[in-house]
Structure 1
Amino acid sequence: MRKLGMIGGMSWASTRRYYELINRAVQTARDKRTSAPLLLESLDFNCVYRLRSDEEWQRAAGILADAANRLKDAGAEAVIICANSMHKIYRDLQPRVDIPIIHIAETVGAKMQADGVKTASLIGTHNVMTEGFYRRRLVSYGVDLLPPDMGVVEKVDNLIYDELMQGRATRDAERLLKTVITNQSRDGAQAIVLACTELEMVVDIDANILPIYDSTTIHAQAAADWILGKD
């Protein structure tokens, strides 16, 4: 098996989920005694929290590049960033790291293309829902995305940062996401992309009105496949 580096802490709640999913996938593929060879660089999320300006994003790119290179020096042969929003700096980050960074939106797009999904709604933080860095990756796999509803964008963004990233999952949050997904179905979405690694805390990905493409689950499976040499 190949050794994978994880850049986590953004937030700790989703990083914990990544660790579990990757190990379960490797265990299923091998045997019950097998654990995935992983290295974890857990960042202080407060240092990369709700970035706005170009200067702040450039500073974050430096922080993640340093983390990725520490993982490489420790023996990692590839890296994953356990967060959707931080892939905004992927193009700045990858040239500064000499090992592959497995892009989360690429894994989601490939899965949706394989399933024949043509129209979907993207739900995540403000920058994921409104900026092109994530949307373009999915569109390149033939997925047409519904335009963001700015009222929904603000509500979901606040929910993610003020509750889910602190490990809090409430019934009100579950009701909000259920309403959002129902409305997106009425607007023509064939599927929902949960493009925030914490959203599975309040969305039942296996029993919903639409097929749910949970970025955490898909990214973690791609990471496990890479560890096992299936890429």
Structure 2
Amino acid sequence: MDLLVGISWVSTSDYYKLINLGINERLGGLNFSECLVYSFNYADIKNNNDNNDWDSTFNMLFEGCKFLKSGGAEAIVLCANTMHFIADKLEGAIGLPIIHIASETAAVIQKQKIKKAGLLGTKFTMELNFFKDKLTAKGIEIIIPKNQEDRDFIHTTIFEELGRGIVSKETKKRYLEITNQLIEEGAEGVILGCTEIPLVIKPEDVSIPVFDTTLIHSKAAIDFQLS
């Protein structure tokens, strides 16, 4: 298994831990994941985001993919929700399957027969269609926070707090208020559509199912590796 990481280091450690624990749980003994890891400087990604420079981000990720492919990669795990904006283009360019985080999330939600889910993530993930389209294709209606101020708050705290491993009581409180508003609007489940959001929202915090995309994506990577 081959991981494109560093977006951010916080989620990188989660992916590495979850995948290795999952492999060991299934195989036992001292069996863990054989993998290559290519890690980016998060500041470079953030700078590209601020300038809406997806071409530079694509070139960065493509170079990372080439490195992994040269090391024998059979599939790539892109360890960030937002970066899946260019996942399909990247997959076509590198000629390797990219295990798509939104597709795997859609499959899990569909199994639970949930028809309407709230989505939290960066503004790219919430407002663009690359993530939502994978779910609506499975008959799942997606709602996001209606208030632009709420979406801005989530986006900013992902980069300025959660991406640095910082969690405050005030930020958690606001996230839960936003989530509860989605529940009032009919959400039957909530998608933690950023790999850092599980730092502030836990399954026991809300009254509906929570879909942790980091966990879902990691399990899909384990399934692929053991297949």
Partner of 1:123: 120
Deviation digits for residues 112-137 of structure 1, max 9, x if unmatched?
A: 11111100110000110111111111
Structure 1 unaligned residues grouped into runs of 5+: none
Distance in 1, matches of 2:195 and 2:45, equals 16
CA RMSD of aligned residues (A): 1.3
1:95 Cα offset (Å): 1.2
1:216 Cα offset (Å): 0.3
Q: Which shifted more, 187-196 or 92-101?
A: 92-101
Deviation digits for residues 30-89 of structure 1, max 9, x if unmatched?
A: 1042111111001111111151555x1011111101101110111221101100001111
Partner of 2:158: 160
Distance in 2, matches of 1:186 and 1:208, equals 12
Q: TM-score, normalised by structure 2?
A: 0.95
1:144 pairs, out of 141, 145, 149, with 141
Partner of 2:6: 9
Distance in 2, matches of 1:157 and 1:32, equals 41
Are 2:188 and 1:190 equivalent residues in the alignment?
yes
Cα contact 1:130–1:148 (8 A) shared by 2: no
Distance in 2, matches of 1:168 and 1:220, equals 23
Partner of 1:179: 177
Distance in 1, matches of 2:112 and 2:180, equals 21
One-letter amino acid matched to 1:218: I
Deviation digits for residues 156-192 of structure 1, max 9, x if unmatched?
A: 1111011000111111121111111111111110000
1:23 pairs, out of 20, 23, 27, with 20
SS class of match (2:190): strand
Cα contact 2:145–2:178 (8 A) shared by 1: no
Cα contact 1:192–1:212 (8 A) shared by 2: yes
Partner of 1:34: 31
User: What are the equivalent positions in structure 2 for 1:203-222 lying under 5 Å apart?
Assistant: 203-222=201-220
1:208 Cα offset (Å): 2.4
Cα contact 1:125–1:196 (8 A) shared by 2: yes
Distance in 2, matches of 1:124 and 1:32, equals 37
Q: Using the aligned pairs only, state the percent identity.
A: 29
Q: Which shifted more, 137-146 or 193-202?
A: 137-146
Deviation digits for residues 2-44 of structure 1, max 9, x if unmatched?
A: xx11000000000100001111111111104211111100111
Q: TM-score, normalised by structure 1?
A: 0.94
2:86 pairs, out of 78, 89, 97, with 89
Distance in 1, matches of 2:111 and 2:50, equals 35
One-letter amino acid matched to 1:77: E
